Amino acid sequence: MWQPPIVAKITDFGLSLRLGEGQTHASNNFQAPEVLVSGHLSKAADVYSYGIVLLELACGWEAATAVMNGRAAILAATAAALEASMPGSSLSGLSDVGARSQAVYESLMPTACSDPLRQLISSCLEPAPAQRPSFEQAVSSLAAILAAEHVRLRNRTTGI
C-alpha cells in the first residue's frame, strides 16, 4: 500500500507531436470551452483541465476523448452563431456551450463516485470560469476527500 507523500506529475504528450503550419497545440481534449472558443488561457482554464483529469481518474477511462466530438460540434455551432449575431464578441454564447459540456461530463461520472468528489469535479467543470474554484481550493478539497476516503477504508478493513 502506498504511503504519503506521493507526488503525481501529469503531462499531455500531445505537445510532443509534430505540428502542422499554423497549429499552436496538438491536443484540445482537456481545454476549457473558453479556450476552445477564444484561445484565452487562464488559471480558471487550468482548473477546468484539472477537472477533466479528475473525471478520467474517477471513470477509469478517457472521458475527454469520449465526448470530444459532441463538444466540438456544440462549440462549432456556437462559434458560427456568435460570428453571425455579434461580430467581435467571441464569448457571448459560452455559458450555453459550457453548460452542455458540463452536463455531458456529469453524465459520465460513475455512480460509485463519492458526493464530495462528484461536487469537486463538477465545480472544476463549471461553464463560467469565475465559478470554478481556485487551484488552492481544488487541491485542498481533493486532499480532504482523499483523507476521508483513507479513514473510511481503514475503518472498513479494521471493522470500526
Residue 47 belongs to what domain range? Answer: 28-158
Where is pLDDT greater, at 17 or 9? 9
Tell me the mean pLDDT in the region 95-124: 76
Contact yes or no for 98/48 (Cβ under 8 A):
no
Q: Quick count: other Cβ atoms within 10 Å of Cβ 97?
A: 23
| CATH code: domain of residue 106 | 1.10.510
Residue 69 lies in a domain: yes
Residue 79 lies in a domain: yes
Quick one: cell of 143?
486532499
Residue 116 lies in a domain: yes
Residue 2 lies in a domain: no
Tens digits of residue pLDDT in 18-74 = 556 665 555 667 788 888 777 778 999 999 889 988 888 887 776 655 555 555 545
Residue 122 lies in a domain: yes
Which positions ≥6 away from 100 have C-beta within 8 Å? 71, 74
Tens digits of residue pLDDT in 120-150 = 998 998 888 999 999 999 999 999 999 998 9
Q: What is the domain count for the chain?
A: 1
pLDDT value for 130: 93
| 54-61 contacts, C-beta under 8 A, 24 or more apart | 54/117, 54/120, 54/121, 54/124, 54/142, 55/105, 55/108, 55/109, 55/121, 55/125, 58/109, 58/110, 58/113, 58/117, 58/121, 59/108, 59/109, 59/110, 60/110
Residue 58 lies in a domain: yes
pLDDT value for 98: 59
Residue 60 lies in a domain: yes
pLDDT value for 23: 59
Q: How confident is the model at residue 90 (pLDDT cuts 50, 70, 90)?
A: very low
Residue 15 lies in a domain: no
Quick one: cell of 93?
454564447
Q: Quick count: other Cβ atoms within 10 Å of Cβ 4?
A: 9
pLDDT value for 25: 55
pLDDT value for 7: 74
Q: How confident is the model at residue 114 (pLDDT cuts 50, 70, 90)?
A: confident
